Structure 1
């Protein structure tokens, strides 16, 4: 064990009051995983002739599956879902670990596994941006008429952790490189329209585990505008024609600011029936009439999920709805909020691989760890790695995120001159706007003994900042869910957040009189409010360290696994199946 994992004598003078080391340690229960490859015969099969009427042409049939595919019999053990067990197909533009730019990729990689663990049969459909070693070519090809021509796609399949991952293959996905959202507006609309058509056909033509999912007891979960055509195509080309009547669609909103807008004339390329065009049209006070893909998905979906309770409310306000609030208020009965979870196999200070070298060490959710053991050792290691003075008594503040207006980074910069006059240290990790990157570099150069700015992103450094910092700053102007505050609390770092969206839902405000709460929330996206919250946090650290440590332990004891989120998604799925307003 590293020497830093022991209670150093120089730290004992600072942490004078100690509680019994026998205080109970919080227990973390990992999501159990079972093989739920149930194979149900579809309620009705579509013939090639019938499929032709939907604009789909079958190119060739399946081949013999590769020898490494698991054909083990389905599990007969009782599932948590019970009679609610459903065929769930999640559709999105990215999925971790294959393609990830943010929280959507994490959700697409983790939520399906949690749903499978509850007993659902789960498929994920995402683009194949490059060659994925785990996925094999099924030899299934389908063609779809969009943007003035027939475009053929292939399907690749991988089965991992109880989930069928299906990757849609087309040259347009290969050309984007590492920037999966690159290209002009029309090229993005083309790619994601193709993904949506392919996802619906995957239910019928990709024989995962020996047979397709079919339309019996099947719910599609479309994520953000990139998959918002799934509910529209499902209704317009299948249910309206007596096909896939057993299927439903849920639209998930991860970020309302991105809606898939475009000129009205671009709607022709999406191959939408005339009587559905009204769902896409939106009058903008500035830009005039235009088409909006997310609007159509929200209008047609059987249920709508926002990624936190607070965000579900915010998107129904004129300020947070980005032009769609009136429509959402009219359909408020369809809207609910479900907070995302985090993957405890990756974010766990007791096993984190990034805390096993360079003086860092793993630690648990106990008093000994936060008062003078592993948590304090990680703080010293972070200070040493970044070239800051190794001082246990100074509050170490951190920021991790994109450098832009939404994340409120400008308010941190405005507060910095006041902040760095105090006896504190500040560590920032992120990239984004060039002017903000330059400001971050300037802060470091002008306060070499107190500030470090890391331009770019490092997964390792993100883990180490969460482990080493005392306080994490999240002054986001809006935050649909937010994950960094969850990571911070998991690692015993106390968040200071602007009380919006998921930040309000997940960070309980500190109450010094009752000694409750897990962080500091402040109202109003103004620099003075951020300064006041930071001042309260640093004063508590210096003057009431016992209370600060209590807060750390309460945060570490919170359950942010995907278990609860999966259960709530299951309820949304059941509601979509059995309370269909269209009959």
Structure 2
């Protein structure tokens, strides 16, 4: 790292502090209530932590299956075996119609640097490759299997998953063959239980419960209905579609339908005409497209999204990303379930990545973490200066521009501010420019570091989350767990998980401050209210901190709610068969 004296901007990622030696082994998962009716559950997702992760979806897919397995269900997760090697992406049957054109070298760091890699730990499922009809060819797909944490993890190996970048694209944009790639993943998830049973493994039976996640797996319920159940397979199976972010729907030209190997009668399930944009003629009829998420919503037996408030928003707001009417029609099948967090990984009493451990009963370690973070960031070690953090993707949704616009107001309040994140180049450049103007109290770390994220959660007093929309959000849950008070836009899951102190007389309840709308004035007002409490009433501030730390955001409660949704879909299927 280049030299940087106190008061000068920090532009590049900071060198991480050497983590403390752990005080003991990682906490084991506590005993949880066992289900009375075990299910055979198969998840399908484009990313699964720790093997591949670009955001919250990967975290959810790494933790929720374990929580359901702990309740007694048999759980399998099917994801792509992403590798960064230079395999020839055109080396598969029918590739001439689907392989992307050669792309310029990507500067984007791969998201899937795996430790340990699936190649090292997972074993190839015997019986040879699966042969899947798709895209005008017969695709040879190999399955790699790993059992860990009570879950069967299956990695789908095919040339389309062997390329640098993220699971979705690289610095040049989304991969041009993403429709083919994720259709293949969905079909592999349907074939995998059949192959495991045929190769001597335990059969999942005919009444498998599939959970498809986001548009990348939304073709699974379409294929299940049209290619399997109508042919006599999986007659008792059900599929839940989990919508983690409605902003991403998988929209493609209508002619791409020809490459999906679906019956012609299913085209209407996927056909979608985007609504007129702002200022356009409402009678304007746009060209038909394919909307993969729409097809999943049409065919799924149940729908799940990641908070109750977000479920309300996407079924009642006018034209939320274009499929409001369909979601409203299927509202009876939609359930909002707030995501949990891994309370073993995110535990300030035992976290080896922070300078000092602490608990709600003894917050001395949190003060030590703040001093250490101020030293690391070369900020004045002033205990009375509220240390305000932002951790997140640098894009319009997350509102980093609102944080930057609020810097003069935060300076007037005597705050210190640190932002950690990467994303759109214009936002990254704006962070770097801001350090030149506000270097006396502002630090920017462009990039991402898990250890630094832990240190920020432990060392900051306030976490800003000015997201314009937020289906669930995880950072506010991490922050409260670490005694860092969230100040957030009251939208989606943020409104569901943060109790606004200002809404209670006397400030004797609440876990943070929320504001609406997502504007500079509203954000600055909420921060000012939080800072007044921080400075004028340490006892009241400590109570807010402790209430946040005491809140239960573990996965066990969310897993129980998922279980109820899945059992309800199974009961409806059985009733319909009578």
Q: What TM-score do the two structures reach when normalised by structure 2?
A: 0.84
* Counterpart secondary structure, 1:428: strand
The equivalent of 2:4 in structure 1 is none
Change (3 A) 1:486 1:320: farther
Gapped regions of structure 1 (runs ≥ 5): 1-27, 35-78
Are 1:365 and 2:360 an aligned pair?
A: yes
Listed as ranges, the matches of 1:115-154 within 5 Å are 115-130=68-83, 131-132=117-118, 133-139=120-126, 140-154=128-142
What CA distance in whole angstroms lies between the structure 1 residues aligned with 2:81 and 2:148?
16
Query: Contact 1:146–1:194 at 8 Å: present in 2 too?
Result: yes
What CA distance in whole angstroms lies between the structure 1 residues aligned with 2:199 and 2:418?
48
What CA distance in whole angstroms lies between the structure 2 residues aligned with 1:320 and 1:347?
37
Query: Contact 1:354–1:464 at 8 Å: present in 2 too?
Result: yes
Query: Contact 2:54–2:166 at 8 Å: present in 1 too?
Result: no
Deviation at 1:210, TM superposition (A): 4.8
Pick from 9, 29, 32 the counterpart of residue 31 of structure 1: 29
Deviation at 1:434, TM superposition (A): 2.0
The equivalent of 2:388 in structure 1 is 397
Change (3 A) 1:250 1:211: same
Q: What's the CA shift string for 1:130-179, capped at 9, x where partnerless?
A: 35122111134111121111111000000001000011110110124445
Query: Contact 1:215–1:245 at 8 Å: present in 2 too?
Result: no
Pick from 517, 521, 531 the counterpart of residue 510 of structure 2: 517
Query: Contact 2:207–2:235 at 8 Å: present in 1 too?
Result: no
Listed as ranges, the matches of 1:135-534 within 5 Å are 135-139=122-126, 140-178=128-166, 180-182=168-170, 184=174, 186-207=176-197, 210-286=200-276, 287-319=286-318, 321-355=320-354, 360-366=355-361, 368-369=362-363, 373-510=364-501, 511-534=504-527
Deviation at 1:241, TM superposition (A): 2.3
What CA distance in whole angstroms lies between the structure 2 residues aligned with 1:344 and 1:400?
19
Change (3 A) 1:30 1:532: farther
Change (3 A) 1:81 1:171: same
Deviation at 1:569, TM superposition (A): 0.4
Deviation at 1:186, TM superposition (A): 4.2
Query: Contact 1:482–1:502 at 8 Å: present in 2 too?
Result: yes
**Between 129-138 and 563-572, the greater mean CA deviation after superposition:** 129-138
What CA distance in whole angstroms lies between the structure 2 residues aligned with 1:119 and 1:534?
44
The equivalent of 2:9 in structure 1 is none
What CA distance in whole angstroms lies between the structure 2 residues aligned with 1:263 and 1:426?
44
Deviation at 1:383, TM superposition (A): 0.2
What CA distance in whole angstroms lies between the structure 1 residues aligned with 2:232 and 2:401?
54
What CA distance in whole angstroms lies between the structure 1 residues aligned with 2:344 and 2:462?
23
Deviation at 1:421, TM superposition (A): 2.6
Q: What's the CA shift string for 1:322-343, capped at 9, x where partnerless?
A: 1111001111111010000001
Change (3 A) 1:431 1:316: same
What CA distance in whole angstroms lies between the structure 2 residues aligned with 1:478 and 1:517?
21
Deviation at 1:185, TM superposition (A): 5.5
What CA distance in whole angstroms lies between the structure 1 residues aligned with 2:411 and 2:322?
40
Deviation at 1:217, TM superposition (A): 3.2
The equivalent of 2:65 in structure 1 is 112
Q: What's the CA shift string for 1:67-126, capped at 9, x where partnerless?
A: xxxxxxxxxxxx6111x2100000000101111111111111100000000000000000
Deviation at 1:477, TM superposition (A): 0.3
The equivalent of 1:560 in structure 2 is 553
What CA distance in whole angstroms lies between the structure 1 residues aligned with 2:298 and 2:275?
21
Give aligned pairs, total: 503
Query: Contact 1:431–1:457 at 8 Å: present in 2 too?
Result: yes
What CA distance in whole angstroms lies between the structure 1 residues aligned with 2:561 and 2:450?
29
What CA distance in whole angstroms lies between the structure 1 residues aligned with 2:38 and 2:71?
8
**Between 258-267 and 287-296, the greater mean CA deviation after superposition:** 287-296
Query: Contact 1:516–1:551 at 8 Å: present in 2 too?
Result: yes
What CA distance in whole angstroms lies between the structure 2 residues aligned with 1:208 and 1:300?
28
Query: Contact 1:185–1:262 at 8 Å: present in 2 too?
Result: no
Deviation at 1:274, TM superposition (A): 1.3
What CA distance in whole angstroms lies between the structure 2 residues aligned with 1:33 and 1:263?
49
Pick from 83, 96, 121 the counterpart of residue 49 of structure 2: 96
Query: Contact 2:351–2:357 at 8 Å: present in 1 too?
Result: yes
Query: Contact 1:205–1:212 at 8 Å: present in 2 too?
Result: no
What CA distance in whole angstroms lies between the structure 1 residues aligned with 2:557 and 2:275?
41
* Counterpart secondary structure, 1:353: coil
* Counterpart secondary structure, 1:579: helix
Deviation at 1:514, TM superposition (A): 4.9
Deviation at 1:180, TM superposition (A): 4.1
What CA distance in whole angstroms lies between the structure 1 residues aligned with 2:416 and 2:163?
43
**Between 481-490 and 503-512, the greater mean CA deviation after superposition:** 503-512
Query: Contact 2:29–2:344 at 8 Å: present in 1 too?
Result: no
**Between 322-331 and 141-150, the greater mean CA deviation after superposition:** 141-150
Q: What's the CA shift string for 1:21-48, capped at 9, x where partnerless?
A: xxxxxxx9963379xxxxxxxxxxxxxx
**Between 301-310 and 441-450, the greater mean CA deviation after superposition:** 441-450
Q: RMSD over aligned Cα, in angstroms?
A: 1.9
Gapped regions of structure 2 (runs ≥ 5): 1-25, 84-116, 277-285
Change (3 A) 1:502 1:320: farther
